[in-house]
Structure 1
């Protein structure tokens, strides 16, 4: 049975899965959502006998119904291969009674690899299915990790080019170096004077520019997105939550039908939304714990039912979460509004014009699956040290936000349910913050790569290839623009 996709802002805008992947964003600025969340058609016990690729197929076939079995299995095989440094793709490590789902074993050592390894293949397959002859221009804003993962995924992929915008002073040194050293004749990286929300808003405005789209078509180009607003990003993320539950089941950590909690460090809301979709597909999840850093717009939202972005933007040691406009939350708003595009559009319009919107009491009642918490900078640093001192296990700053929130949640609720923490980045990506947390005095004067060698000694984990590759790599991208000149920069790059 075919599953179609609708815009969160206009129920008349109905497309197939492949069309939704190609478009990225709906014409009205809404996000594509499945008309219903499908159920798994195999038991979790059956899925426990499959490897990551096997589980990926069983989950994704439910959403991408206009892909043939052969097409989907080919995309999965090309994505989840030797690019990952472990056969398990997403292993689980236990430390201090917490189960850490390591999502950073891909080419760029962050969780974005899990979806961005497959998105180029889904996109190219979608283009062929829909007889697209234009070159697809991937236009993306990044708060640090999406950019490099998208660049790595699309580099030299025939029929595509990619332009990534990032906040010039809003990512870590390693994140920036990973992007600006990216090879590939079809890749472009641009720093903007502004923050991630400025980059994201600029990209959305470019997508919505009908005049620009017309000129691009004349030149043989069309836009698509690699951001988490693309349903081709969200669907692969659902996979690892289904997979992780089946691993805990297979290993006897949990019993049949036993519920678990999942904690996700969250900025743009895509990663925790994927866990919510997994729950709705039939995975026994009790609480979805949404962990924010000091930019706690989502914490306040879950506490009050009011989303308010009118606040100071704070640069933290977990920069991938330094976000005040959580784009993927729109998909949840649409669902709790009873799949009512009119209500969703009104709330998103209020966010755009006033920077705030308020849920109805009925909508708020449907958020009981979620718990919102946040960790201060100090608590984040303390959590890294606490976990290391107790267990020898080293976590990055984003994962520490999640672990810190989980410790607070457990103390507040006395909920002893087994809990999975989404570990979203390798500590090597944020080595300075991590090593400073472990022993500030000892490590504060060391250079970045010297710190990474020390991290290897401390953690017992060898320096990943993603880090070794950028040690001496030359800078290939040095474009920088003002936040209000992004459209002109795109036009210049494409020769329009």
Structure 2
């Protein structure tokens, strides 16, 4: 039977997979979810002898059975053939007693590549399935990595235009350069005077702006999203939990069925939610550990049950996690409240009107059965980057260092633990160079000189696509106020 997706806020809103992927957000502002995760199952023992593409096809078939198996295999093949620098796509490295799942070997050196290499294929397949010939206008808010990965995935697609908004002075120099130099005849990149939460909340609002929706309709255009609010962005991230678990079994590190902990640097809650989906499907996961930076709203929530965004927004050394409103938390609340859409809608309304909400003690206990949490300050992150390099010869980016620190300072654990490494350290080369004093690198110099020097002194490979940024022209340098985000869309549609 074809699986239907419903809104987290209204059980009467039901879409097919293709409709949900094209829409991105539900009309009521909710996120699309499978109402019952018992409907998706994949026995880990059946994937042990399979490669990344084969496992990806099996996972996607479970969630998106509206599509034929052959169509899904075609999408997967196009997404992952000769597009990643490591043939394993997401290689698992042993670092000391723990394991690091490297998710940064794609075209833009971020974990977002794993899903955003596949999402454009799923969007086009969905349009074909719906006999929908309208053009898509993809609005994307980014805290640094999603923007470039989405731009790269959708560039020059004749059926898509894409606009990316990012916070001015809120991403790393390399992240900004990646977006500012983006080529393609269907892309627009704009920085806003505000933070990521400003960008994300306004993108969500613009999705439902009646004037814009009418304008787009007149031009046969529909909105869609490349953020993890889109179910087509989220589900591909489930795959690497299966892949990494199979790798642990195949290398003899664990026995089949043995439970593993996963620790995830977390901002928007999508990556860790994918782990929850993997656990519900059948991956033997003990705990999912949410690692936060100084914007530790999720840490407080998972400890107390109160989600409160009424606090100072901090710019940290891990900018992709500088988020106070974590969109995918809404999906988790839906699933762990037993699919209570009315309750979730009430919580989200409280968040919108007061900036906070508090869940019941019973629901908090249910959440804590699966999710643990910890956080790291910028000072602790810097010390962890230095420590891990000096003791283990492994180079961490600041986001992965948050997770590494939280793991090292967690209570004694019996289970093997996998750290999700979300970005190449060279995307944050100024911070990483500064944090390892014994390398004696002047972190004030040009970032491209830093890349060369860090590579030379550590012998850790620097991705060619980051080095090549130096020679690329700046194509996008517009800075706007938040109120002008709508004007950018009107201008794009009019061209």
Whole-Å separation in 2 of the counterparts to 1:124 and 1:73: 14
Whole-Å separation in 2 of the counterparts to 1:443 and 1:36: 54
**Which one is further off, 433-442 or 277-286?**
433-442
Shift of residue 255 of structure 1? 0.5
Q: What corresponds to 2:406 in structure 1?
A: 405
Mapped contact 2:165–2:199 kept (Cα < 8 A): yes
Shift of residue 157 of structure 1? 1.2
- Residues 332/40 of structure 1: CA separation in 2 closer, same or farther (3 Å cut): closer
2:461 is equivalent to residue 462 of structure 1:
yes
Whole-Å separation in 1 of the counterparts to 2:67 and 2:441: 54
Whole-Å separation in 1 of the counterparts to 2:379 and 2:472: 34
- The one-character-per-residue Cα deviations of 1:266-300 (angstroms, maximum 9, x if unpaired) are 00000000001101111111111000000000000
Whole-Å separation in 2 of the counterparts to 1:369 and 1:445: 43
Whole-Å separation in 1 of the counterparts to 2:129 and 2:415: 45
Mapped contact 2:216–2:222 kept (Cα < 8 A): yes
Which consecutive unaligned segments of at least 5 residues does structure 1 have?
none
1:8-407 to 2 correspondences below 5 Å: 8-38=8-38, 42-367=42-367, 368-407=369-408
Mapped contact 1:45–1:249 kept (Cα < 8 A): no
Whole-Å separation in 2 of the counterparts to 1:42 and 1:106: 26
Mapped contact 1:92–1:100 kept (Cα < 8 A): yes
2:469 partner SS: coil
Whole-Å separation in 1 of the counterparts to 2:287 and 2:212: 44
Shift of residue 471 of structure 1? 1.1
- The one-character-per-residue Cα deviations of 1:48-78 (angstroms, maximum 9, x if unpaired) are 1000001101111000110111110011001
Whole-Å separation in 2 of the counterparts to 1:444 and 1:480: 27
Whole-Å separation in 2 of the counterparts to 1:390 and 1:238: 32
Mapped contact 1:3–1:35 kept (Cα < 8 A): no
Shift of residue 459 of structure 1? 3.3
Whole-Å separation in 2 of the counterparts to 1:193 and 1:470: 24
Shift of residue 145 of structure 1? 0.2
Q: What corresponds to 1:428 in structure 2?
A: 426
Whole-Å separation in 1 of the counterparts to 2:76 and 2:38: 20
Mapped contact 2:441–2:453 kept (Cα < 8 A): no
Whole-Å separation in 2 of the counterparts to 1:447 and 1:310: 37
Mapped contact 2:143–2:196 kept (Cα < 8 A): yes
Shift of residue 41 of structure 1? 5.1
2:481 is equivalent to residue 485 of structure 1:
no
2:474 partner SS: coil
2:37 partner SS: coil
- The one-character-per-residue Cα deviations of 1:284-330 (angstroms, maximum 9, x if unpaired) are 11111000000000000011100000000000010000000000000
- Residues 212/194 of structure 1: CA separation in 2 closer, same or farther (3 Å cut): same
Whole-Å separation in 1 of the counterparts to 2:435 and 2:476: 32
2:312 partner SS: coil
Shift of residue 158 of structure 1? 2.0
Give the root-mean-square deviation of aligned CA atoms: 1.2
Mapped contact 2:93–2:100 kept (Cα < 8 A): yes
Shift of residue 403 of structure 1? 0.4
Whole-Å separation in 1 of the counterparts to 2:489 and 2:93: 43
Q: What corresponds to 2:474 in structure 1?
A: 475
- Residues 98/67 of structure 1: CA separation in 2 closer, same or farther (3 Å cut): same
Whole-Å separation in 1 of the counterparts to 2:228 and 2:494: 27
Mapped contact 1:260–1:286 kept (Cα < 8 A): yes
Whole-Å separation in 2 of the counterparts to 1:158 and 1:37: 35
Whole-Å separation in 2 of the counterparts to 1:42 and 1:194: 42
Whole-Å separation in 1 of the counterparts to 2:175 and 2:333: 31
Shift of residue 479 of structure 1? 1.9
Which consecutive unaligned segments of at least 5 residues does structure 2 have?
none
- The one-character-per-residue Cα deviations of 1:130-183 (angstroms, maximum 9, x if unpaired) are 111111111100000000000000000121110000001100000000001000
Whole-Å separation in 2 of the counterparts to 1:352 and 1:118: 32
Whole-Å separation in 2 of the counterparts to 1:421 and 1:275: 12
**Which one is further off, 357-366 or 49-58?**
357-366
Shift of residue 38 of structure 1? 4.5
2:62 partner SS: helix
Shift of residue 242 of structure 1? 1.1
